[in-house]
Amino acid sequence: MDNLFSPGLINGMSLPNRFVRSATWEGLATEEGAVTPRLTDLMVRLVGGGVGLITDGTADYISMSRPLIREPGLLNRWKSGDLTRAACLSDNRCFQPAREGDGVYCVTEKRGV
């Protein structure tokens, strides 16, 4: 039981305890799935109540986050009319440093590729 209340580490992310709230349907988003003030309030209360990790069941952020790791201004570049393909190779190497506690960055770019 002591482990439940002790801090934890997952892929370089520090957790205050081992309490995890899994993805559930609250019915507090809009019909389109947009966040509402009621949903935000619930999440704030859960975090304030001591939940160490909240998962929301979504993972589709990964496909767009990789290019933004290499080019943080990518969306602004596209918005300005420069629609050149993102430099990201989507090789997933950007997440490896986080597993080792070194944060997330484009390993491929750092190697000069």
Q: Which residues contact 55 (CB under 8 A, 6 or more apart)?
A: 20, 21, 22, 23
Which two structure tokens, joined as six digits, stand for 84? 């050149």
pLDDT in tens, the chain (113 residues): 678 888 888 877 788 887 887 777 888 888 888 889 998 888 888 877 777 777 766 654 445 678 888 999 998 999 999 999 999 988 888 888 888 888 889 999 988 87
Q: Any idea what DSSP says for residue 57?
A: S
* Lookup result for tokens 């934890």: 8
